Amino acid sequence: MAEPSERWKIMIVEDDPDVSKVLVRTLTNDEMQLEITDDPFVVLGKLEAGTADWDVMLLDVGLPGMSGIEVLKRFREAGSLAAILMLTADNSANTATACMRAGAFYYLTKPFAALALSSMVQSAARYATLRRRLAEREREDASTGTTLVGTSGAMRFLRAQLDRLAGQDVSILIQGESGTGKELVARSLHERGARRSHRFVALNCGAIPETLIDSELFGHTKGAFTGATSDRAGVFVEADGGTLFLDEIGDMPMAVQARLLRVLQENEVRPLGSNTVRKVDARVIAATHVDLEAAVAEGKFRQDLFYRLNVVRLLVPPLRDRLDDLPLLAGHFLRKHGGTGAPVLAPDALEAMLAYPWPGNVRELENALMHAVALHHGDATIGPDSLPAAIGQRARAQSSSRIPIVLDSEDLPPLTEAKRRASAAFEKGYLIKAMEKAKGSVSEAARLAGLDRTNFRRLLQRHGIDAAAYKA
């Protein structure tokens, strides 16, 4: 949603005056600032000059002097964050495929249904806004070496907690499901705090055999046990002055828990096989996917160690509870693994990802996008077929289930009429869902939809939706 003090910048590149007039008439409102040209070299000149700062570009495929698809490719190669909607009178599959592979946000077939056009431009503008916010956040985090991606309420709350805790040298327990990014949160705390000039050392307590965990934690001397061919410092000594991150602390054996508690209380370690102790000063951040309070009640985790570690508790939300962040996360991982000219997600691929439950959380999302980058055949856009089967099949099933909405009579309607019906049905269904979730509050539903309240009320009236019917 555009901020109240800002307007979305829209560039229209269309050589047909009649079509231009329709676009201007449809899109002229308080949220949009329009520019118009019929010359593709004008927009390429602004791209080269660094002044192509539009949120959305409506780009005709058949332009004089240069194909619109070639202009699209130039913008994608330059790393433009604008969402580009292609305009074409050719509704063939070849044209649509060429547009999407070249990196278009979507394509629209002439003549346009006003509602579908306006809705698609707003979606494209919101997408461009999200990409810019992600880019800004990554620039801010670059100085710390960490990237906590997301603008959802849960992530804003988590960042606020990190800002308050970074300068406080207290023990912190991070709880969250596997794959939610607990280590990234711990690294962010370290990089923001006074210990950032010293080492951040991470140890996964659940991945080390019980016979070796003492050595990993506290160190050993040469000959302390079979295979100890040299002295080893241990992670407490390695993290001296810095931060020690103990991941999956809930999997630590009870006997080792007692020895860990002593180190935390005395701030000194005794390596295996040694008669001397060494003072250490490391901030300990622990993490687990286990409910430690339940583990304490069951006698599987020491209560005194729990209290020592749980001075402050941070909860990292699962991905299914912060799906608003998925487009930003996807963009981050595509750039991370796709490199220069990284592909973007097609709308149907993003829709499928938003409908998927993500049991493996952010780690599973990153793996899915690595899979997609490897299989997308060099196209500028990733479609559902490049996603892992469990996600891509969901997209095809959803697509099939929507056909009756478009073809709701025995006669096959013209394509433009079918699209109009589908757009109207989708919009009405979305508005109803928003009102249900907001329990009848128009202001809250408008916030969820990313629209201002006036426009949201106008859409409710257009579809004959009574807000009072959804009051809790």
pLDDT tens digits along 329-349: 888 888 888 776 678 888 788
161 burial level (CB within 10 Å; 0-12, 13-18, 19+) = middle
Amino acid 404: pLDDT: 39
Closest CA to 439 of 462, 400, 471: 471
Asked whether residue 28 carries a pLDDT value surpassing 50, the answer given is yes
The secondary structure element, H or E, covering residue 269 is strand 268-269
Which are the contacts of 74, defined by CB distance < 8 A and separation ≥ 6? 44, 47
The secondary structure element, H or E, covering residue 64 is none
More confident residue, 409 or 181: 181
Cα Rg of the chain, angstroms: 27
Average pLDDT on 79-88 reads 88
CA atoms of 233 and 270, how far apart (whole Å): 10
Tokens 């099939």 belong to 400
Indicate the DSSP class of residue 109. Answer: E
Going by pLDDT thresholds of 50, 70 and 90, the confidence category of residue 310 is very high
* CATH code for the structural domain at 153-319: 3.40.50.300
Length in residues, the chain = 472
Distinct helix (H) and strand (E) counts, the chain: 19, 14
Asked whether residue 402 carries a pLDDT value surpassing 80, the answer given is no
Name the pTM for this structure.
0.60
- What is the distance in angstroms between the CA of the first residue and the CA of the last residue of the chain? 26
Asked whether residue 405 carries a pLDDT value surpassing 50, the answer given is no
What is the DSSP secondary-structure string of 330-366? HHHHHHHHH-TT--EE-HHHHHHHHHS--TTHHHHHH
403 burial level (CB within 10 Å; 0-12, 13-18, 19+) = exposed
Identical topology for domains 1-148 and 153-319: yes
CA atoms of 155 and 446, how far apart (whole Å): 21
pLDDT tens digits along 120-130: 898 888 888 87
Per domain, the residue ranges of the chain are 1-148, 153-319
Pairing of strands 283-288, 381-382: unpaired
Q: How many CB atoms lie within 10 A of CB 404?
A: 8
Average pLDDT on 422-448 reads 82
Which are the contacts of 162, defined by CB distance < 8 A and separation ≥ 6? 148, 185, 188, 189, 192, 314
pLDDT tens digits along 227-279: 677 778 889 999 999 999 999 999 898 888 998 999 999 998 888 877 788 89
Residue 314: what are its φ and ψ, rounded to 5°?
A: -115, 135
Asked whether residue 439 carries a pLDDT value surpassing 90, the answer given is no
Amino acid 400: pLDDT: 43
Of 44-48, 201-205, 355-359, 391-395, give the lowest mean pLDDT range. 391-395
Q: Are 64 and 42 in contact (CB under 8 A)?
A: no
Question: 1-148, superfamily in CATH?
Answer: Response regulator (3.40.50.2300)
Indicate the DSSP class of residue 446. Answer: H
Going by pLDDT thresholds of 50, 70 and 90, the confidence category of residue 416 is low
Pairing of strands 172-175, 312-315: parallel
Pairing of strands 268-269, 278-279: antiparallel
- Mean pLDDT estimate for the chain: 82
Residue 443: what are its φ and ψ, rounded to 5°?
A: -60, -45
Name the strands in the sheet holding 200-204, side by side, starting at the edge strand that comes first in the sequence.
Answer: 200-204, 243-247, 283-288, 172-175, 312-315
